[in-house]
Structure 1
Amino acid sequence: MATKLRLQRRGRKNYAFYQIIVADSRAPRDGKYIERIGSYNPNTNPATITLDFDRALYWLQVGAQPTDTVRNILSDEGVLMKKHLLGGVTKGAFDEAEAEKRFETWKNSKLQATQKLKNKDEEAQRAAEKARLDAEKEVNKAKAEALAKKKAETEAANNPVVEETTEEIVEEVVEEVVETVEATETKAEEPKVEEPKAEEPKAETPAADETPAEEPKAE
């Protein structure tokens, strides 16, 4: 039977991830499969891939055909490179030790290239984040200035400030002093109101026609 390496969809709506399976080419996409050899999650950056390297290499060697997406995954993981090197060993171009040495060299270069891309993406992400923060600071600064201006205008409308010259201020001070002095003088000139004294009771004198009582004469 024709065997294929392909993806089987899993997950929920708008968040799909895939299993890497070995299945009969006649089986439906989400139907029965022979073996599961890994998974692929494109929702992360970079995509998360788990793969059973030896089983994937085995199925390629026995003739299983990968789909385009699975082929790209196997290429990135080095399965196709290892299969190519083992083919050279089978043909007698070099021995297995040389094949392993070449594979390790390729793997290290691949890791370095991947790390460079990852660092570049992180730098770009940091730059974008910095630009976003700077733009947000500028917007906040503009809002703060507009709010301060509006607040100042409101305070100015509620508490209008009258600009006066020095001469006008001096005149106002002189007028206030004169008014204060006049008020003091007016208060001093007001006549004092004497309160009426309470009348003292007068002593009664005997009337003129009244004859004082005769004292008894001594015999």
Structure 2
Amino acid sequence: MPVKIRLQRHGKKGKPFYWIVAADTRSKRDGKYLEKLGVYNPNTNPATIDLNVDGAVQWLQNGAQPTDTAKAILSYKGALLKKHLAGGVRKGALTEEQAEAKFTTWLDEKAGKVGSKTDGLAKEQAEAKAKALEAEKAANTARIAAAAPVVEEEVAEEVVEATTEEATETAEVVVEETPKDATDEATKPEKEVVKETAEDAATEEAPEVKEEE
């Protein structure tokens, strides 16, 4: 029975992740499988891969053929290298200990490269976040500077309105108080003059009466 190591799609629309499976070549892509060997999630950076390396090596030794994508994943995780080292052990070119030491060294170097890439990505994200923050601060400063003249103009308009209202109220108070005081002051001398004139006229018109002898 021909067997392939391939990816089986899972996840929701727009964010898929994949199972790495050994399946019969005659089965559907997302149908039944013989063994699940791992998980591949391309939605993270770097991509998350969890692989049963020994299981994959065993299927490869039994003649399973990986698809192109599955082959790249197996190479990335060292399954192809381990299969090659196992072939050297069978031929007597290497001992089990030497093969294991070579594979461990390769894993350490691979982990260092992945760690460097992760650190680089984290640094880039931090720099991008700092630049975005600086840009936001600059935009806020420009917005405040643009709004300052408008605020000053509104304050000036409020001061003018307050001054106008105060002047209007003062004028109304003066208008209300002035006629009454002016009338009282103007009427009082006039009444006194009229009274004095009437008394003088009465004195002049009254005839002097003499008694007859």
- Give TM-score, length-normalised by structure 2: 0.72
- Which structure: greater helix fraction? 2
SS at match of 1:33: coil
RMSD: 2.5
**Matches for 1:4-153 after TM superposition, within 5 Å:** 4-153=4-153
Return the letter of the residue paired with 1:13: K
Provide the rounded CA distance (Å) in 2 between the counterparts of 1:123 and 1:115: 12
Cα distance between partner residues in 1 of 2:66 and 2:153:
72
Deviations along 1:95-134, one digit per CA (max 9) or x if unpaired, are 1111111111111111111111111111111111111111
Q: Structure 1, residues 30-61: CA drift from partner, whole Å, max 9, x if none?
A: 11111111111111222222222221111011
Structure 2 gap ranges (5+): 161-184, 189-213
Letter in 1 for 2:65: Q
CA distance in 1, matches of 2:63, 2:34: 14
Instruction: Letter of the 2:7 partner, please give it.
Output: L
Q: Which AA in structure 1 matches 2:120?
A: K
- Alpha-carbon separation, structure 2, partners of 1:93 and 1:153: 90
Post-superposition offset of 1:26: 1.6
How far apart, in 2, do the equivalents of 1:156 and 1:74 lie? 75
Cα distance in 2 for partners of 1:83, 1:56 equals: 9
Question: How far, CA to CA, are the matches of 2:35 and 2:104 in structure 1?
Answer: 28
Tell me, in whole angstroms, the C-alpha distance in 2 between the residues paired with 1:156 and 1:45.
56
Q: Structure 1: how far apart are the matches of 2:149 and 2:5?
A: 67
How far the C-alpha of 1:10 sits from its partner, in A, is: 0.9
Equivalent residue letter for 1:12: K
Q: Which SS does the other structure have where 1:23 is aligned?
A: strand
* Structure 1 residue 156: Cα displacement: 2.5
Deviation at 1:149, TM superposition (A): 2.4
CA offsets 1:166-206 (integer angstroms, 9 cap, x no match): xxxxxxxxxxxxxxxxxxxxxxxx89xxxxxxxxxxxxxxx
The 1-side partners of 2:38 and 2:86 are apart by: 22
Percent of pairs identical after alignment? 49
Q: Distance in 1 between matches of 2:92 and 2:66?
A: 27
Aligned partner of 1:181 in structure 2 is none
TM-score (normalised: structure 1): 0.70
Higher relative contact order (CA 8 A, sep 6+): 2
* 1:14 alignment partner AA: G
Partner secondary structure for residue 39 of structure 2: strand
Greater C-alpha Rg: 1
- Give the CA deviation at 1:28: 1.1
